[in-house]
Amino acid sequence: MLRIVTCDIGPGGASIESPEAVEAGTEVTLQLTLFDAAEEAPRLIALPATVTRAEGDGPCRLALRFAGAHPTAVEALKRFIFRARDRTRG
């Protein structure tokens, strides 16, 4: 398990910074805790992903493509993203 920094995220994938090098093609699971004022408690979701691009030796920048995630996890991520966008625009 690595603690990473999420740089950009969407329903289909993410760009992250990892403290350790990870090779392209590696399968990983991104676990996110979503904190949303519209929900009673934080929500933990797991998104299976494949590393599609890796730059650097550690820390490194990785591009992830989500595949095979449970539909409820993807929907929770979409709601979180859309609510966050609404808060920044309002």
pTM for this one?
0.84
For residue 54, give the nearest of 90, 1, 4 by alpha carbon. 4
Residue 87: per-residue pLDDT: 74
Do residues 36 and 83 make contact, with C-beta atoms less than 8 angstroms apart? yes
| Mean per-residue pLDDT pooled into runs of 10, the chain (90 residues) | 87 94 94 82 93 91 94 92 78
Domain boundaries of the chain, sorted by first residue:
5-89
Residue 63: per-residue pLDDT: 97
Domain 5-89 has CATH 3.30.1540.20: no
